[in-house]
Structure 1
C-alpha cells in the first residue's frame, strides 16, 4: 500500500488544490462533500480569484503552487491548472512526498511524463491522471454496443466548437495548452482504450493567429492506423473560423454501425435502427475523486492507469511530429516513434 498510513489512520486526507477554473471548482465541490478529506489550501494565478475561491470553499489561499506543495500538512495535491505546468507541479509534489491527482495531460512532454511515473513508483506515492471520458455515458455505451457491429474497420471522432469571438484564455495559447491533441488528450485516449495499439499516424493542422502566443482558431485532423487494421479519423477544432458545432462519434463495422451525435446514439443494422441510451456527463469529477479516495483508503482498483495515459500521450506526440513534418509516423508496441 502507499506510504500514507499516518494520514489514513486519522480518517482524513489533507488536500491542496492548484487551480481556480472549471475543473478546480468541481474538484473542490467533490472534496468538501467527502468526509474523508480536508481541503487545506488552494493556489491560483490571480490573487483576487484565489481569495474568492478559498472563501467559497472555506480554505486557505496561497500565492503560489510552490508554497502549496511544500506544506507539511498536505498529503494529496490535486492539479487542476494550465497544461504547461502539470509536469512541474507533479514533480515537485511527488518529490515532497505527496500523492498526486492531475487532470490530463500528465505533462505536455512525453519524456517528463515517463520520469514522473518512475518518480511516483520510487516514492511509493499515487500518481493518478484523470480521464473522466472513460466514466461518461458515451464511452460506456460504446463499450456495451461494440460487439454488435462485428469487425470494425473505420471510426470517426469529431469535436468542433465554434467560438465567436474566441476567448483570450489559456486554452487558446500555444504554450499553456500545448499541441491540440495533447491538450485535448481524451480524444485519443478514448480510442486507445477501446481499440488498443496504434501502428502509424499522420496529421494536418492549421492555426488562425491573433498574435504569436494566442490563436483565434485551431483545426486539426489526424488519421490513426491501429495494429488490428482499424482506421480512425480524429477531427478537433475550436474558435472563430468554424461555423457549425459538432460532437460526433461514428463506428463502422461489418455487421452494423454505431452513431453517437451529441447525447443521442443509435445502432444501425440491416433493415433496422435501434436507439441507444447515453448516460449523463454530469458528476464525473466527483466520481473520479471518490474512486481515488476509495483506492487510497481501501486499495480498490482505479479505472485508469498512469501508464495508459502515457501511451495516449505518446500517440499524441507522434501526431504532433506528423503535423510538423508532413510525414507518416510509425510507432512501436511501446509507443516509440520512427519515420
Structure 2
C-alpha cells in the first residue's frame, strides 16, 4: 500500500520529514502547504510535490491518507483536529497542542475515527538517550540531577520560535526535555518553576506581557519525581546567553552520570568510565519507517500519544507554577 502523504510546514523538521517520506518506498509525498508561498513552492519543487495555497486546502484533499504536521506549535492542535475529522492519519511534531485539554480531546477523536495519531519524540530514539538509559543503572538510585540546554544566538532570530504565542511556554514548546526525563525516571509528583523573557533592548518581560516576540528566555524547573529524585531542568536560548551546550548530570547512591552531545562518563568509587554516545543522524527516517510499519502491519510505535500528553501535563504544571509562584501538584492537572 502506497501511503499518500501531505506535509504542513517548510522549516527544518518539514524538510527532514519530506526526505524521510521520499526515502521510504511505501509512501509518496503528494502535496505541501506552508505559511510562506515562496518557501512552499520552493520546497514542493525540490521534493517533486504539489504546492497548496494553505493547510486547510491540503488536509481537505480526498487523495491523501496521512498528514504530517511540522509547522509552528500554536497550529498543531488545530491542523491535527481538521485532519482527523477528514479521515486522515496524523503525524505531528511535539507538542500535540499548547493546551492539555485540547491534546486529550485529540487523542479521543483519533480513537473515535479509528485513525493513527503519532506525536513525534525522536529524542527517545537517539543514541544519546540510549546511552543515558543504559548507564543510569550503574549509579544506583538516582537522587539529584541537572539537565540543562542553552542555545545562545546573537542576535536572536526573528522567527516563530522566539514568539511566546506561537512557540508556547518554553517547556511546552521544548517538550522533548520533559519527555526524556519521564522516560528515564517515571512520573513527576510536583513542579516549581521560574521563567524570564527579555526584550531586544535587554529589558525583562513579565510572563503576563509576553504576547509576542522576545530576544531571549530562561526557564528553570525543579521537578520532584515519585521515586524521590529531584531534578533541575533548565532551558534557555537567545541573545542574553553566550554559550551553546547541553549537559545531563545525575548523582546516585553509587555514582554520577554525566553525558554531553559528544560523550559522557560514569564516575564511581571504582573510578571513571568513558561512555560513547551514538549518532543522532537518521532519526526522522527511523520514526517515519516505524509509522509506516504501524499503518501496514499494526506494529506498536515507540511512544503513544497519551505518553506525550503526560509530559505536556508536567510542562503545564511548570507554566502554572510561574503564574502562581507556587509548587504545583501534577496530579491536579
Instruction: Calculate the TM-score normalised by the size of structure 2.
Output: 0.96
1-side partners of 2:262 and 2:321: how far apart?
32
Counterpart residue number, 2:323: 324
Q: Does residue 1:255 correspond to 2:257, yes or no?
A: no
The CA deviation string for residues 40-59 of structure 1, in whole angstroms up to 9 with x for no partner, is 10001111110010000000
Q: How does 1:24-103 map to 2 (within 5 A)?
A: 24-103=14-93
Corresponding residue of 1:127? 117
The counterpart of 2:176, out of the listed 186, 209, 225, is: 186
SS at match of 1:247: strand
Aligned residues: 324
Shift of 1:89: 0.2
Residues 94 and 175, structure 2, Cα contact 8 Å, conserved in 1:
yes
Q: 3-state DSSP class of the match of 1:200? A: strand
Q: Once the 2 structures are TM-superposed, how far is the Cα of residue 245 of structure 1 from its aligned partner?
A: 2.1
* Cα distance in structure 1, aligned partners of 2:192 and 2:24: 44
Match of 2:167 among 177, 191, 206: 177
For residues 147 and 262 of structure 2, the distance between their equivalents in structure 1, rounded to whole angstroms, comes to 14
**Which residue of the partner structure matches residue 143 of structure 2?**
153
Q: Which residue of 1 aligns with 2:275?
A: 276
Give the 3-state SS of the residue equivalent to 2:215 in structure 1: strand
Deviation at 1:331, TM superposition (A): 2.0
Deviations 1:257-283 (Å, cap 9, x if unpaired)? 110123211111114111111101111
Deviations 1:222-258 (A, max 9, x none): 0000111010110000001111222000111110111
Q: What's the secondary structure of 1:280's corresponding residue?
A: coil
Task: Provide the residue aligned with 2:218 in structure 1.
Answer: 219
Q: Structure 1: which 4+ aligned runs deviate by more than 2 Å?
A: none
Cα deviation, residue 108, structure 1:
0.4
Gaps of 5+ in 2: 201-209
Asked if the contact 2:261–2:277 (Cα under 8 Å) also holds between the matched residues in 1, the reply is no
Provide the C-alpha distance between the structure 1 equivalents of 2:312 and 2:30, rounded to a whole number of angstroms.
31
How far does residue 138 in structure 1 lie from its aligned partner after superposition? 1.2
Say whether the 8 Å CA contact 2:66–2:90 is kept in structure 1. Answer: yes
The C-alpha deviation readout for 1:291-330, integer Å capped at 9, x for no partner, is 1101111111211110000000000000000011110001
Matched, 1:264 2:263: yes
Measured after TM superposition, the shift of residue 66 of structure 1 is 0.3
Structure-to-structure mapping, 1:292-307, within 5 angstroms: 292-307=291-306
Q: Which residue among 123, 143, 146 is the counterpart of 2:133?
A: 143
Cα distance between partner residues in 1 of 2:220 and 2:150 = 11
Give per-residue Cα distances to partners, 1:194-236, cap 9 Å, x unaligned: 1111110000111102495100000010000011101011000
Q: Which stretches in structure 1 are left out of the alignment for 5+ residues? A: 1-10
Q: Which residue of 2 aligns with 1:315?
A: 314
Change (3 A) 1:119 1:212: closer
Contact map agreement 2:165 2:211 (CA 8 A) in 1: no
- Indicate the residue corresponding to 2:230 in structure 1: 231
